Amino acid sequence: MIVSGAGLVPLFVSVPILGLLGLGFMFSSSYRRERLLTFVNSGSSGDLSLGYHIRQIQIALGTGGIFGVGFGQSRQKFQYLPEVAADSIFAIIGEEFGFIGTSIFVILFSTLVYKGYSIAKNTKDIYSRLLAVGVTAWIAGQFFVNIAAMTRLIPLTGVPLPLVSYGGSSLVFSLMGLGLLANISSRGRV
């Protein structure tokens, strides 16, 4: 909305309304309600099966420490952590490469996002600008949701890490988005 020239007032009005609608949507299904309640109360119940996935993610990230256990030396990927190659790949990166490795990974991805927004800023065509901002926001949002779920800032969602997680459709569409950004960047220099 900001890139298209709209004011901030509709944004500030719509965000609380959309937040309430999202909360209502979460409580409309027993599966989503249980997932949210498990996220909020993961350590309070005696049932160890509740919150198993997030507990294994925390073990993996904690085991990595500062420098990690080494490339290919993760123990959590052997039948402990569900969805190792897809949703939970960041936990394995954290275990194998530690805090330093995950920091470098986040910096590299942030550089990609910055480059996407700078492509949008430098283009003169409004359609190309909106397309570049949309593609960049989509990839950045998917990255943020995955990392936030892995670090327990939000409930687990099943959103893959763009360009890293195993899965053909996510990789194909991410690469298509990056191809659009490359095309917009090359047309902006002509």
User: Cα(136)–Cα(115) distance, rounded to whole angstroms?
Assistant: 9
pLDDT-based confidence at residue 189 (cuts at 50, 70, 90): low
Helices 126-150, 168-189: axis angle to 10 degrees equals 140
Rounded to two decimals, what is the model's pTM?
0.81
Q: Biggest alpha carbon distance in the chain?
A: 64
Instruction: Pull the structure tokens for residue 80.
Output: 């402990």
SS3 82: coil
Averaged over 73-99, what is the pLDDT?
A: 82
Residue 85: name the closest of 162, 148, 171, 167 by CA. 167
Structure-token match 């993760």, residue found: 74
User: Cα(32)–Cα(24) distance, rounded to whole angstroms?
Assistant: 11
The yes-or-no verdict on residue 147 having pLDDT over 90 is yes
H-assigned helices in the chain = 9-27, 30-40, 52-64, 89-122, 126-150, 168-189
pLDDT digits (tens, 9 = 90+) for 36-73: 777 777 665 555 566 777 778 888 888 888 998 888 88
